[in-house]
Chains A and B, each alone.
Chain A
Amino acid sequence: MEALIVHAMEQGLLYCFMVLGVYITFRVLDFPDLTVDGSLPLGAAVTAAMATGGHSVYLATAAGMGAGLVAGLFTGLLHLLLKMGQADATNYGPKLLSGILMMTALYTVNLRVMGRSNIPLLSIDTMFDRMGQAISVTMTGWRLVAALLVFMLIIKFILDWFLHTEMGLALRATGNNEQMIRSLGVNTDKLRVLGLALSNGLVALTGSIVAQQQGFADIGMGIGTIVAGLAGVIIGEVVFGMRSIGWVLFSVVGGSITYRLLIALSLRMGIQPTDVKLLTALLVVVALASPAVRKKVVNA
């Protein structure tokens, strides 16, 4: 049982940066961004290509994240192009389409970056291995969980700080009431691009460290990222609440860990790994639809 919990903590904390990224687009920006299915393997691909090419694993990780930032930037620009002057913030068509197009385009980019569909990384020390070596500990089990916790706290602290800056407030308002913040003289188009870049940077960072920990980068590793991200966000909000921004960021991390724990438990109960994505999709449907369904039932 302990092994199961350690494993779920590890997975949950590895993927929490992706869930934080999805939180930024889905909740803060009100932009359901499907780019993440492509930017997660992009981070993994760039890191794998660079690390096997002899570059430092730190540099390879930073480059992976940087590639995600650029991917998000392109999604944002594509969205500007597709919405063409329409200011209607609730028009999700161009938002979904720009994400879908980027996700598809990134498949080719990722294959090009890797040169093949899978790169093994087992012979390469991960970023956390390197950190461990610096203080003479082997990064496994609880020690890896502790290292990931520290890493998560740093990222969470930066995000929390950013979302309370002048720019961060304007970013949140862009997703909350775009007309209002535009009428206060803010170029919301620019901020949306920034938010998308930030989000996909976090998602690519996840891809990079996941590839290192699992020992390979694979072209298919991004499939279902958006749904898993939504599951993490929603579970976090429901289980841990959303009192304030600072609190929600922790809730979302908690949601990521809870989600991985649920997967680990269902696998132990004999569910096939290939069935997990269907279960996740159902989970998201139930969680998203239940408030509306409840309303209908109460009103009827």
Chain B
Amino acid sequence: MTSPEGLRLEEATKVFFPRTPNEVTALDSVNLVVSAEDFITIIGSNGAGKSTLLNTISGTFLPDDGHVWLAGEDITANPEYVRARAIGRVFQDPRAGTAPSMTIEENMAMALLRCKPRRLRRGVTKRRRNLISEQLAPLEMGLEKRLNTEVSKLSGGQRQALSLLMATVAEPKLLLLDEHTAALDPKVAETIMNLTGAIVQDKNLTTLMVTHNMELALRWGNRLLMMHKGKIVLDVEREEKDTLTVPDLVQKFHDVAGESLAVDRMLLD
């Protein structure tokens, strides 16, 4: 059984500070095939290359070597704003995904226009306002009644919920989550994670979620990747993933890394 291909990386390589004493190979000839229905969780210690992987996919920077395909198209040379038409992304910092001095409805209107040219006509139309209210209501945060509130007045959880909605409302092909619940308190993080699961399922999004939290990585998604020193060192799917436990993962990590780690940060986050 083969499912349609979502994302493919071929020999993707990224070296920071080349030819200096600080040279770091953040991505080391990574090959990865992601099917369209995959929800992948990615773990690894600091500096393992998780964020570099996401940045290479999103086009924040170009890889030094290798190729990136999305839905069968080679997007390696496309600048970030071109790729962004098919890729939604949520960052760890709740401030990163929204424009603070603009209102909730203005932010949402900009997100609705993903993929579309920005014309000289009203941004927040009546029709769009209704649509925005409809989209905000299921969050149960009362945001649909505060459409004209500046986003800077919202709490971190509210801003992250809005960021998530903005990243997905125009139904991109791919959703990239970069530790998007790590900066929130546990209860809010739980809410945002449940919301994420619901949206991914509802809209059938191919999803890559980077996390430091092994328990989260096991509980969510159908596939788990572990990265170390710029390489994917573990790739488990479905049944095999379901039987894994946090101690298993720690053990696997010791096996592949071959060195003792500061596991506490990974466990406690």
Contacts and interface: CB of A to CB of B under 8 A. Distances in A.
Contact of A170 (B80, B82, B100, B110): B110
Nearest to A165: B120
Interface string A172-197: 11001101111111111000000000
A181 B89 CA distance: 11
Interface in B26-61: 58, 60
Contact of A172 (B58, B99, B114, B115): B99
B102 A185 contact: no
Interface string B98-134: 1111100010011101110011111110000000000
Interface of A is mostly: helix
Interface residues of A, number: 23
B118 A179 contact: no
Q: For A168, A179, A180, which residue has the most chain B Cβ atoms within 10 angstroms?
A: A180
A173 B120 contact: no
A167 B106 contact: no
A162 interface: yes
Nearest to B119: A166
A183 B89 contact: yes
A164 interface: yes
B85 interface: yes
Contacts of B157: none
A165 B141 CA distance: 27
B96 to A, nearest CB: 6
A185 B75 CA distance: 14
Nearest to B128: A166
A181 B60 CA distance: 13
A183 B80 contact: yes
B102 A169 contact: yes
Q: For B60, B80, B115, which residue has the most chain A Cβ atoms within 10 angstroms?
A: B80
A176 B119 contact: no
A165 to B, nearest CB: 5
A169 B106 contact: yes
A87 B59 CA distance: 12
Contacts of B122: 164-166
9 contacts: A87-B60, A164-B122, A165-B123, A167-B120, A173-B110, A176-B100, A181-B99, A184-B113, A185-B84
Interface of B: 58, 60, 80-82, 84-85, 87-89, 95-102, 106, 109-111, 113-115, 118-124, 166-167
Given A165-B119, A169-B102, 10 more contacts: A165-B120, A165-B122, A176-B101, A176-B102, A177-B95, A180-B96, A183-B89, A183-B97, A185-B81, A185-B85
Closest 4 CB pairs of A and B: A176-B99, A169-B123, A185-B84, A166-B118
